[in-house]
Amino acid sequence: MTKIYEATVTAPVNIAVIKYWGKRDSALILPTNSSLSVTLSQDHLSTRTTIRASPEFSTDRLWLNGIEEDISASKRLVNSITTARKLRAALEKKQRDDGVASEDIVLLSEWSIHVCSENNFPTAAGLASSASGYAALVSALGALFQLPQSTSDLSRVARVGSGSACRSMFGGFVAWRAGESNDGSDSFAVQVADRHHWPDLQALILIVSEKKKTISSTAGMQTTVETSDLFAERVRNVVPKRMAAMEKAIAERDFGTFAEITMRDSNQFHAVCLDTYPPISYMNDVSRSIASIVHAFNTARGRAAAAYTYDAGPNAVIYALKDDMRDLAELVTYCFPRGSTILSEDFYADPFNMFGSADRIGQVPTDPDVAQLATATGQFPAGSVRRIIHTEVGDGPCVLPALQSLLNESGMPKRAKE
Amino acid sequence: MTKIYEATVTAPVNIAVIKYWGKRDSALILPTNSSLSVTLSQDHLSTRTTIRASPEFSTDRLWLNGIEEDISASKRLVNSITTARKLRAALEKKQRDDGVASEDIVLLSEWSIHVCSENNFPTAAGLASSASGYAALVSALGALFQLPQSTSDLSRVARVGSGSACRSMFGGFVAWRAGESNDGSDSFAVQVADRHHWPDLQALILIVSEKKKTISSTAGMQTTVETSDLFAERVRNVVPKRMAAMEKAIAERDFGTFAEITMRDSNQFHAVCLDTYPPISYMNDVSRSIASIVHAFNTARGRAAAAYTYDAGPNAVIYALKDDMRDLAELVTYCFPRGSTILSEDFYADPFNMFGSADRIGQVPTDPDVAQLATATGQFPAGSVRRIIHTEVGDGPCVLPALQSLLNESGMPKRAKE
List chain B residues with CB under 8 Å of A229. Answer: 233-234, 237-238, 264, 268
Residue B392: half-sphere exposure toward Cβ, Cα within 13 Å: 16
Question: CA–CA separation, B402 vs B241, rounded Å?
Answer: 45
Q: Which of B21, B233, B238, B257 would you mutate first to test chain A, the one with the most A CBs within 10 A?
A: B233
pLDDT of residue B212: 65
Note the pLDDT tens digit of each residue in B327-382.
999 999 999 999 998 899 899 999 999 999 999 999 999 999 999 999 999 999 99
Give buried/exposed letters for B81-98 (b at 16+ CB in 10 A, else e): bebbbebbeebbeeeeee
CA distance readout (Å), A248 to A32, A201, A244, A255: 22, 16, 6, 11
| CA nearest to B242 within chain A | A229
Residue B217 in this model has a pLDDT that exceeds 90: no
Note the pLDDT tens digit of each residue in A366-402.
999 999 999 999 999 999 999 999 999 999 999 999 9
Using alpha carbons, select from B56, B32, B79, B47 the residue that is nearest to residue B411.
Answer: B56
Interval B190-195 mean pLDDT = 98
The whole-angstrom distance between A87's CA and the closest CA on chain B is: 43
pLDDT of residue B157: 97
Residue B129 in this model has a pLDDT that exceeds 80: no
A46: left (phi over 0), alpha (psi -120 to 50) or beta: beta
- CA terminus-to-terminus distance, chain A: 30
pLDDT band at B123 (very low <50, low <70, confident <90, very high): low
The whole-angstrom distance between A255's CA and the closest CA on chain B is: 17
Give buried/exposed letters for A201-215 (b at 16+ CB in 10 A, else e): bbbbbbbbbbeeebb
DSSP element (H, E) containing A6:
strand A5-12
Residue B418 in this model has a pLDDT that exceeds 60: no
Residue A124 in this model has a pLDDT that exceeds 90: no
Question: CA–CA separation, B4 vs B114, rounded Å?
Answer: 12
The whole-angstrom distance between A266's CA and the closest CA on chain B is: 9
CATH topology assigned to domain B5-194+397-404:
Ribosomal Protein S5; domain 2 (3.30.230)
pLDDT of residue B21: 97
List chain B residues with CB under 8 Å of A291. Answer: 279
pLDDT of residue A229: 98
What rounded mean pLDDT belongs to chain B?
95
pLDDT band at A121 (very low <50, low <70, confident <90, very high): confident
Which chain B residues touch A if contact means CB-CB below 8 Å? 229-230, 233-234, 237-238, 260, 263-264, 267-268, 270-272, 274-279, 281, 284-285, 288, 291, 295
pLDDT of residue A215: 79
pLDDT band at A213 (very low <50, low <70, confident <90, very high): low
pLDDT band at A214 (very low <50, low <70, confident <90, very high): low
Q: What dihedral do alpha carbons B116, B121, B126, B129 form, nearest 10°? A: -40
The number of beta carbons lying within 10 Å of the beta carbon of residue B343 is 10
What rounded mean pLDDT belongs to chain A?
95
B173 DSSP assignment: E
Burial class (CB in 10 A: 0-12, 13-18, 19+), A306: buried
pLDDT of residue B209: 81
Query: Strand (E) positions, A101-197?
Result: 112-119, 173-176, 189-193
Q: Strands A61-64, A112-119: parallel, antiparallel or unpaired by DSSP?
A: parallel
- Asked if domains B5-194+397-404 and B201-392 share a fold, the reply is no
Question: CA–CA separation, A208 vs A335, rounded Å?
Answer: 13
pLDDT of residue B126: 59
pLDDT of residue A266: 98
A275 → closest Cβ in B271, B284, B295: B271
The pTM of the full predicted model, rounded to 2 decimals, is 0.95
Helix (H, G, I), strand (E, B) or coil at A187: coil
Q: Are B144 and B51 in contact (CB under 8 A)?
A: yes
Q: CA-based Rg of chain B, rounded to a whole angstrom?
A: 22
pLDDT of residue A42: 97
pLDDT of residue B213: 62
Interval B127-145 mean pLDDT = 93
List chain A residues with CB under 8 Å of B281. Answer: 288
Note the pLDDT tens digit of each residue in A297-327.
999 999 999 999 999 999 999 999 999 999 9
The whole-angstrom distance between A130's CA and the closest CA on chain B is: 28
Return the percentage of chain B with pLDDT > 90, whole number: 92
Question: CA–CA separation, B196 vs B183, rounded Å?
Answer: 34
Residue B251 in this model has a pLDDT that exceeds 90: yes
CA distance readout (Å), A40 to A73, A161, A278, A410, B218: 30, 20, 33, 34, 41
pLDDT of residue B387: 93
Interval B1-11 mean pLDDT = 91
Q: Mark out the alpha helices in A102-254 (DSSP H runs).
A: 130-144, 151-161, 217-227, 231-233, 239-251
Q: Mark out the alpha helices in B252-304 (DSSP H runs).
A: 255-274, 285-301
Which residues have a Cβ under 8 Å from the Cβ of A139 and sit 6 or more positions away? A9, A11, A49, A154, A169, A397, A399
Interval A240-244 mean pLDDT = 98
Residue B77 in this model has a pLDDT that exceeds 80: yes
CB pair distance less than 8 Å for B268 and A238 = no
Q: Which of B262, B272, B274, B309 would you mutate first to test chain A, the one with the most A CBs within 10 A?
A: B274
The whole-angstrom distance between B252's CA and the closest CA on chain A is: 23
Interval A158-183 mean pLDDT = 97
Note the pLDDT tens digit of each residue in A11-62.
999 999 999 999 999 999 999 999 999 999 999 999 999 999 999 999 999 9
CB pair distance less than 8 Å for B275 and A279 = no
CA distance readout (Å), B366 to B371, B375, B388: 6, 12, 19
Residue A418 in this model has a pLDDT that exceeds 60: no
Q: Which top CATH class is A201-392?
A: alpha beta
Q: Are A204 and A169 in contact (CB under 8 A)?
A: no
Task: Please tell me which residue, B415 or B207, carries the higher pLDDT value.
Answer: B207
What are the residue ranges spanned by the domains of chain A? 5-194+397-404, 201-392
Which chain A residues touch B if contact means CB-CB below 8 Å? 229-230, 233-234, 237-238, 260, 263-264, 267-268, 270-272, 274-279, 281, 284-285, 288, 291, 295
Residue B247 in this model has a pLDDT that exceeds 80: yes
| CA nearest to B266 within chain A | A275
B271 → closest Cβ in A274, A284, A288: A274
List chain B residues with CB under 8 Å of A264. Answer: 229, 277
Q: Mark out the alpha helices in A181-238 (DSSP H runs).
A: 217-227, 231-233
| CA nearest to A269 within chain B | B275
pLDDT band at A123 (very low <50, low <70, confident <90, very high): low
Sign of CA dihedral B377, B382, B383, B388: positive
ipTM value: 0.93
pLDDT of residue A2: 77
Note the pLDDT tens digit of each residue in A329-368.
999 999 999 999 889 989 999 999 999 999 999 999 999 9
Residue B125 in this model has a pLDDT that exceeds 60: no
